[in-house]
Amino acid sequence: MSGLRIVPVADDVTLQDWQRVHNEIIPTAPLSLDDIRERRTRNVLEVAYDGDVLVGCSTVRPPDEDTAAAVVIARVLPEYRRRGFGAAIYAHCLRRGRELAAGIETHILSSNTDGLRFAKSHGFAEVETYLLPGDTIPFVELRLGE
């Protein structure tokens, strides 16, 4: 990891890069560019680059009426895992999430064993598993222990 840059989704290039990472890591729930534009109005969406190379993206979702916790999601493309990018993106998102709420949660597709292992190694514990309408692979909701 030489020069990690984490930048907000602010133009067509970063929008498409965020989409590429999200849709590769969560193929069961692909998002269109319009979906992402809408999410950007209520969430913090960022893209991570090692120099000029796309390595990941993130989402920080503020608390809502269903939960008092901020949701922090760090995604790293498979070919860039186990190099410290996930830890750096996660730390960045965690700081943002803690500005919004005391509690922190994350949601990971159950088939993403690397992501689940990463979350559990960083103090998250499984709260529940849920299936989105029409999906066959559930998501796992995890909460950060304090």
The pLDDT confidence band at residue 67, using thresholds 50, 70 and 90, is confident
CATH superfamily of 4-144: Gcn5-related N-acetyltransferase (GNAT) (3.40.630.30)
Contact 55, 77 (CB under 8 A): yes
Tokens representing 19 are: 């989409």
Q: Hey, is 4 helix, strand or coil?
A: strand
Mean pLDDT of 132-136: 83
1 pLDDT more than 60: no
20 pLDDT more than 70: yes
Q: What angle do CA 80, 82, 86 make, to 5 degrees?
A: 75
Distance in angstroms (rounded) separating the CA atoms of residues 13 and 62: 25
Its pTM stands at: 0.89
What contacts 98, CB < 8 A, 6 or more positions away? 70, 104
The pLDDT confidence band at residue 136, using thresholds 50, 70 and 90, is confident
What region does 64 belong to: left with phi over 0, alpha with psi -120 to 50, or beta?
A: beta
- The alpha-carbon radius of gyration of the chain (Å, integer) is 14
List the single range of 14-23, 44-53, 114-123 with lowest mean pLDDT.
114-123
